[in-house]
Amino acid sequence: MKRALAMILTVLLLLAPLMGVSADEKKVVRVLLAGWDLNDGIDPVTAAPFKGFLTWWAENFTNEHPDIEVQINAIPWDTAQQKQQAELMAGNVDVLYTGSYVSQYYEMGLLRNIDDLLANDTEYNPLELFPEGIWNSAYNLVTSDGNRYALPAVMGQRYTVYDTTLFDQWGVEYLSEYPTTQEIIEKAKQMTGINPVTGEQNYGAWFYLPAPMDIFTFVAWSYAYDITGGIGTTEDPANIQWELNDEKMVQLFTDFGELVKCTPPGFLTGTGNEYYATEDNNVAIFLDQNGGNIMSQYYQTGETAMLDRYKASMNVGPNGEGWVAVDPIVMAANPQDVDAAWTVMKALASPARQEYHYSEFRWTPAVKDYSFLNPADIHTPYALKIADSAHYTLIDESNPFFTTEIVPLVNRYCSDVLSGKTVDIQAMLDELQAKAVAWSASQK
C-alpha cells in the first residue's frame, strides 16, 4: 500500500511540469461584479439565448493570460453598495464593477489611485477608447482635483424622447435637435389637455422624480441655466462658496415649476409613464429618458413602428448635454498583485467587453468608437454624443449636500406647485443658501 502510494506521488511529481503554469506561479485577481450575468441563459423578454460573461471571458481573456487566475463573483444590485464596501474593507477583493456610490469608496480610502498605472502604461491611451467628456470629468472616474481611480465600463442613457404621433395630432412642430428648456415648456403646455383627434387626456411632459440620489432632469436643466451651485469641490466641502440663491437659480425653479404643471397624475411618486413606448401613450415629451423599451420591442419582434414613432433629441445643456451616469471598474486600495489587477481592470473596461455587453444585453457602451452599434439603434448614439461633452458641477449626486438637502427641496417644490401652493422661490432659496453655508461650516 505504502509502496503504491509512493509510486503515485512520484509519477505526479514527474508530470507536474507538463501541466502548464502551476497554481503557485499564477497571479490571482479577485473580481466582484454587481449585476452581471455570469452564466449562459435565456432572455426572459425575447426568449433568445445569451452568452454569459464567464463564457466570453474564457474566450477572450483566459487563453491570452494563462498566468493570471481571475476569481470572478457576481452579486445582485440590491444591497451591492453595502456588500462591496464590506468586501473592500475586509480586503477580500481586488477589482470591482460598481455603481454611482464609487466616489464614496474613494473618499473612504478603499480604492487605489490609478494615475501612476496610466502614466507607466504608455501603450494604453484612454482618450482613444473612451468619450472625452466623461473621461475628463465624470465624478465616478476622477475627483474634481484630478485624482483618477476608475475606468468607465457602462453608461446610462439620458436624453429627450418624444412621441411624434401626439405631436402630429396636436399640430405641434417636432422638437429641434438641441431643444432649449423654453421650447420644451412651450410645446409641453400646448399638448397638455384633451387631444383634438382622440379626445383623450394628454400630458405635455414626464420625467422621473423620486430618485434616491438625484433628479437627473433638474441637473440637466441646471446646465441649461449655466448653474454650477457654487465655487469649490466636494473633496473640500468646508470651503465651498455656495451660489444657490442667485437670479439663475430663481429662473431655473420658476421654469421647472412650469414644466411640472404639464405632468400626469402619479408623477410625484414616479408613475404616470406606464404607456411609454406603446400605442396608447398619452405623454408627449419624456425627459432624461432612454430608448430601452423601444429597442426591446424591436429586438423582440423586428417591428420598427415604435422606432419610427418615438424620436430622440439631445438634452437641454448648451451643447445638448445632460447628466451622464457612468458605472466604472475600480481597483481596491491594496490588491494582491497590482500589475495583474491592472491587466484585468483594462480588460473589463475594454471596448471589446463593452461591445459584448451591448450585443448580448443592450448595455450602453462608454466608448469612443461605436461603429458596432446595431444600425436600427437610433437612440444610443444620442447617449454617446452627450457623453462626449459631459461635465459635472456641485449640482450632482457626488455632493452630499445635494443628495440630502437639494434633492428633497426640489421634490417638495414640485409637490407644492402641483398642489397649487404659491411658493416664494427667492425665500426658499435664501433658506437653502443659509443651510448650505452652515453645512460647510460644520465640515471644518
Partner 1 sequence: MAVNTSAMLKKPVKKRFILTNNWIGYLFVAPLILGLLVFHLYPVIRSFMMSLENTNGVTGTFIGFDNYRWILRDSMFWSSIYNTVYMAVLSLIFNVALSFLLAAMINSIAKARGVFKSIFFIPNVVSVIATSILFTFLFYPTKAGVVNSILTMLGIQPVEWFSGISTSRLTVCIMGAWRMIGYYIIIFMAGLQSVSKEMYEAADVDGVNEYQRLMHITIPSIRPIFAFVIIMDTIASMRRFSDVYMVGGTSGSPGGTLVTTVMYIYRNAFTGTQMGVASAAAFVLFLIILLLSYLNITFVNRPNDR
In single-letter form, the type of residue at position 421 comes to K
Least distance (Å) from partner 1 to the CB of residue 138? 18
CA–CA dist 194, 203 (Å, integer): 9
Binding residue for partner 1, selected from 97, 135, 267, 298, defined by CB under 8 A? 267
Binding residue for partner 1, selected from 412, 426, 427, 434, defined by CB under 8 A? 412
If one asks whether residue 190 binds partner 1 (CB under 8 A), the answer comes out as no
If one asks whether residue 104 binds partner 1 (CB under 8 A), the answer comes out as yes
Distance spanning both ends of the chain, measured CA to CA? 74
Binding residue for partner 1, selected from 70, 95, 134, 209, defined by CB under 8 A? 209
CA–CA dist 261, 159 (Å, integer): 20
Q: 18 or 441, CB closer to partner 1?
A: 441
Least distance (Å) from partner 1 to the CB of residue 115? 21
**Location of C-alpha cell 405623454:** 283
In single-letter form, the type of residue at position 51 comes to K
Least distance (Å) from partner 1 to the CB of residue 444? 9
If one asks whether residue 172 binds partner 1 (CB under 8 A), the answer comes out as no
Which DSSP string corresponds to 348-399? HHSHHHHHHHHHHH-PBP--S--TTS-TT--SHHHHHHHHHT----SSSTTS
Binding residue for partner 1, selected from 83, 186, 400, 423, defined by CB under 8 A? 400
Binding piece for partner 1, criterion CB under 8 A, among 8-16, 204-212, 222-230, 247-255: 204-212
Q: 1 or 438, CB closer to partner 1?
A: 438
Residue 326's beta-bridge partner residues? 155
Least distance (Å) from partner 1 to the CB of residue 107? 6
Residues ≥6 apart with Cβ < 8 Å to 124 = 118, 346
23, 29, 166 from 19: Cα distances, Å: 10, 21, 67
Binding piece for partner 1, criterion CB under 8 A, among 258-266, 347-355, 362-370, 386-394: 258-266
Cell of 206: 414626464
If you count DSSP H runs as helices and E runs as strands, how many of each does the chain have, helices first?
A: 19, 14
CA–CA dist 329, 345 (Å, integer): 6
Asked if 206 and 214 count as a contact pair (C-beta separation under 8 A), the reply is no
Cell of 18: 507538463
If one asks whether residue 422 binds partner 1 (CB under 8 A), the answer comes out as no
Asked if 42 and 51 count as a contact pair (C-beta separation under 8 A), the reply is no
Question: 111, 109, 108, 107: which is closest to 97 by C-alpha?
Answer: 111
Least distance (Å) from partner 1 to the CB of residue 365? 27
* Subset of residues 365 to 394 that bind partner 1, contact rule: CB under 8 A: none
**Location of C-alpha cell 507536474:** 16
Least distance (Å) from partner 1 to the CB of residue 265? 4
Binding residue for partner 1, selected from 212, 247, 279, 424, defined by CB under 8 A? 212
Least distance (Å) from partner 1 to the CB of residue 439? 8
Binding residue for partner 1, selected from 416, 423, 433, 437, defined by CB under 8 A? 416
Binding residue for partner 1, selected from 368, 415, 423, 433, defined by CB under 8 A? 415
If one asks whether residue 193 binds partner 1 (CB under 8 A), the answer comes out as no
* Subset of residues 65 to 84 that bind partner 1, contact rule: CB under 8 A: 81
Binding site for partner 1 (CB under 8 A): 81, 85, 89, 101, 104, 107-110, 209-213, 264-271, 397, 400-401, 403-405, 407-408, 410-412, 415-416, 418-419, 442-443
